[in-house]
């Protein structure tokens, strides 16, 4: 597709026609911001859960500090499993 082609994008309850390249860049940037926010919330959750367990006099959760695999790592695992 030509970079001059347009895409329809919904903002609120309104559709706007924007160049595909601009739309793709906006989506990429939004996804990066969402990924960063998700990672920050996960880190905060770990700390809060540990504090809660400490306040209850329970031992710290084991395995709670694990990190999810990235999309690239998952692709590699799937490739290995498929043979």
- How far is C-alpha 68 from the chain's CA centre? 11
Degrees (nearest 5) of the Cα angle 27, 36, 74?
Answer: 80
Give me the percent of the chain exceeding a pLDDT of 90: 58
The sign of the dihedral angle between the CA atoms of 48, 54, 57, 58 is positive
The pLDDT of residue 60 is 81
pTM (two decimals)? 0.61
Q: Using CA atoms, how far apart are residues 45 and 8, in angstroms rounded to an integer? A: 37
Residue ranges of domains in the chain: 1-62
Q: What is the pLDDT of residues 24-51, one digit of tens each?
A: 999 999 999 999 999 899 889 888 988 9
The sign of the dihedral angle between the CA atoms of 44, 50, 53, 54 is negative
- Residue 20's contacts (CB-CB under 8 Å, 6 or more residues apart) are 1, 3, 5, 6, 7
């Amino acid at each position: 597709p030509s970079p001059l082609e347009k895409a329809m994008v919904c903002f609120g309850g309104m559709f706007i026609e924007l160049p595909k390249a601009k739309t793709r860049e906006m989506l990429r940037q939004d996804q990066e911001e969402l990924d960063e926010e998700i990672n920050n919330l996960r880190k905060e959750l770990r700390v809060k859960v540990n504090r809660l367990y400490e306040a209850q006099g329970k031992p710290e959760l084991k395995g709670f500090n694990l990190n999810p695999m990235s999309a690239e790592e998952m692709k590699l695992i799937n490739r290995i499993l498929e043979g």
